[in-house]
Chain A
Amino acid sequence: MTSTASRARELMTAAVADPGLAGVAAELQRICRAAVSGLGLLGAAVHVMPQSGVSGIGASSDAHAAILAELLTTTGEGPGADAFSMRRPVLVPDLLASSGRWPGYVEAAARAGLGAVWSLPLHLGAVSLGILDLYDVDARSLSAEDLGVAVQLSRLAVEPLLDGRSGGHGGSVDAGLAAVEHFAEVHQAQGMVMVDLKVELAEALVRMRAHAFANEMTLVELARAIVGGTEDAVSWDR
């Protein structure tokens, strides 16, 4: 079962971004391209929602995928819009069969040659950042294994987006956010730091990661200290 995670990482390692891109944009494009090559897709795009606090960052596997991603903005509906607002994957293996749900989007997407769209939310709990859209020409289902890889790739996109939001690095000695997601303490501590520092929830995590990094702790160790009452965010330096 962990093979989906390792396959996602392998695909990421093999993916190369355009030479002109750097930082978060390059990272996100590699995620898109990893999805395309790994799942045999027409294209993939990361769409960042304006209300997420991240601006000017988006990515696509190629220029065509960028045009397909725009359909969400031009029609104002679609699987991506629902995945974002409902914070859950919206997977549409047969787009034409869903024309009742998003009439405008399906019509425009069909004209653009799309048969299937899989939208995955990019979020960490209540912090919603955007979506990862996967596109294909034919109406078809993805296997459970391929869906698992898609979910893993979507998780990998959350971290660069959070970093992009903070305008810098979120430095951490952890393997990555995806690796600590199953620790309840990390999320509880995030809520506590949000209140203690009077910041947004996303910012609370950025501050926790920076503090953990600066003090050579793992995020889980820091979170346990916060929840256990031995670490107080109020005392942290800005």
Chain B
Amino acid sequence: MERLADLFVEVADTLVADFDLIDFLQSVALHAVEVSDQATVGVLLSDQAGRLHHMGASNEDARVLELLQLQNDEGPCLDCYQSGQPVVHLDLAEDPPWPMFAARATELGFVSVHAFPLRLRDRVIGALNVFRPDARSLSPEEQRVIQALADCATIAIIQEQAIARAEVVTEQLQAALASRIVIEQAKGAVARTFGVSVDAAFEMIRSHARSTNQRLADVAQVLVTDHQGMDALR
């Protein structure tokens, strides 16, 4: 309960201007793991063309990102995004509706998957994925809490939800997608500059952003466009 309280404080913060959407979505993923112990959680947002983009994950391991991206072809998130309804599959080894996705997920040790829609009224903007290493279904209560997390994420993205004009939604989504690309570019540059893994590079960028109270994307932007940018991480 206490952790949930933390989350709602964080959500309230997002209603204040100038919050970091990417960092927030990563927090949503981490909170979802607290609800469903041992799970791996990813958040995907759709662009204007209906393509799903990874926005935040509880574990930024490259293989997890690949599993999220793979779902532009087939997978629970794609189905969930297209139908606007939750999707549950408890045994990926047993007759999965998405053979390619299931094979890769099984290789990575995942047994079950849940997908929750990021939806506001009839508009679906993405999906939240929960991968588990066992065949346990989330309890109705866990499902409600995780759907509430997905709803919070949706509201954070469509901040002016009461007047969710198409213009506002487009501005927010495109900004989020662009931020994520800058962060990936910076992960690559930092990984090479310091000879570390891409995951470790992400941690360096994130901890610098947090300790200097900057947005992830702003830190990332300086890292890849300013010749002295990397000095900040030394």
Which residues of A line the B interface, CB within 8 A? Answer: 1-2, 4-5, 86-91, 93, 118, 120-121, 123-126, 141-144, 147-148, 151-152, 178, 181-185, 187-196, 201, 227
Contact = CB atoms under 8 A, between A and B. Distances in A.
B144 interface: no
B48 A151 contact: yes
A145 B189 CA distance: 36
B49 A192 contact: no
Given A1-B50, A87-B175, A90-B171, A191 B185 contact: yes
A201 B114 CA distance: 37
A152 to B, nearest CB: 6
Nearest to B192: A195
B190 interface: yes
A98 to B, nearest CB: 12
Interface in B139-176: 165-167, 169-171, 174-175
Contact of B184 (A86, A143, A191): A191
B193 interface: yes
A126 B170 CA distance: 19
B166 A4 contact: no
A123 B178 contact: yes
A184 B184 contact: yes
Contacts of B193: 195
Nearest to A92: B167
A93 B163 CA distance: 14
B192 to A, nearest CB: 4
Q: Most chain-B CB neighbours within 10 Å: which of A124, A144, A184, A189? A: A184
